[in-house]
Homo-oligomer: A and B are copies of this chain.
Amino acid sequence: MRVELLCTGDELVTGLITDTNSPWFEARLFELGVKVERILLVGDVRPDITQALLEVASRADVALVSGGLGPTMDDFTLECAAAAAGVPMVEDPRALEWLRERYAKRNVSISAGALRMARVPQGAEVVRNPVGSAPLVIMRLGRCRLFFVPGVPREYMALAEGEVLPRIRAALESDPERVYLAFRLLKTVGIAESMLDAKVAPLVPQHPQVVFGFRTHAPENHLKLMATASTQAEANAALAAAEVASRQVLGTAIFGADGEEYAPVMAKLLTRAGATLSLAESCTGGLIAQQLTSVAGSSTFFIGGAVSYSEKMKMAWVGVPAEVLARHTAVSRETAVAMAEGVRAACGTTYALSVTGYAGPTGGTPEDPVGTVYSALAAEGRPTHCERFSLTGDRDRVRLFAAISALELLRQRLLAGSSAP
């Protein structure tokens, strides 16, 4: 089944509004095994809308058209549909009745503009809108079934969920060409997109029913697996095989799947281990603390974080000795180690992470230029582990990757710990 979406409205082509309806509807359709083929956005220009309707109808089996159903003078999507179909606009008695009821219930007299919402292309079917005035309008244009819904997200979603999706589902049941999809998103950190591709490439020929896709969502890289088959069970099996193979080559670079996010995953690992954490941040300036505390319930494992931006506070809060700062400077392996050990002692936690580096745009030394970051992990009864990272990009990017690099020291340690005999 070919499905297209057409969204109308000047606000969508002038940057005033971001179309969030379409991604929502696409995701709902994708769950049914339908990948939308095109999404088209056009402004409030009659010939553009009419032309777009004709184009969409020439290609698609089903189209969801949104926007331009309201009472104001820039609402004329149905008039364009009538023009495209070569039929007149007529007043629909049922739609008129619903409008009258709705206005009466609110004790508002019905305006001439509002009455326009009862006018539809001749031959169209109307379905009551449970949360608004303009009805869902369904009509055929050539071989395409067009569903017209308001653009207001609340009304769009109510009608799409309650009326449009059930009709599409019913049509799919009898579609002889129906394909079944299964989908998995594997989320990685610490591995570049090109490296991810290289590692996965040998798997591709072994999984002909699965499409391997890649997506960068800094600092993460995601691998998308989409299996296609003629039954759902077959699609699920093909997906499962590709997922197992991908997990084998990517190992612990994968931190989660589908809707899972990094900070909650880390929170779960810490909670499961019954461990507590403290932080000493310099160049990341509170970014790691902010990420971890965004997770509800983080107070069970997070005890405290020192944003020790000055040398003074590196000494006062996390006990970095003055001679370490004097001899090695604030951006050094020795300072990172002292920060991690110092904050762990101050907070009395199982683990502590520290970060110090040159986020830029200025600073740095010939040996440690901008982008150099030292991060240390201190833990109960284990030597402190410190790494040096050379990060590229602007200040925001260096901070983002410094934060994830530090957190990865901890996540990999927790994973290694949990798999130990």
Contact = CB atoms under 8 A, between A and B. Distances in A.
Interface in A142-193: 152, 154, 185, 192-193
A231 interface: no
Given A41-B39, A290-B285, A73 B197 contact: yes
A194 B316 CA distance: 46
B215 A11 contact: yes
Interface in A33-81: 35-45, 48, 52, 70-74
A304 interface: yes
Contact of A395 (B23, B296, B316): B296
Contacts of A19: 18-19
Interface string A102-143: 000111100101100000000000000001000000000000
Nearest to A196: B72
A288 B394 CA distance: 20
Given A15-B24, A15-B28, A296-B395, A113 B304 contact: no
A389 B212 CA distance: 48
A346 interface: yes
A294 interface: yes
Main DSSP-derived SS at the A contact region:
mixed
A15 B23 contact: yes
Given A39-B41, A392-B105, A309 B303 contact: yes
A152 B215 CA distance: 9
A255 interface: no
How many copies are assembled?
2
Contacts of A24: 15
Nearest to A155: B216
Given A303-B313, A304-B313, A192 B108 contact: yes
Nearest to A397: B154
A18 to B, nearest CB: 5
A18 B36 CA distance: 14
A360 interface: yes
A347 interface: yes
A26 interface: yes
Given A10-B224, A303-B309, A43 B35 contact: yes
Contact of A305 (B213, B309, B312): B309
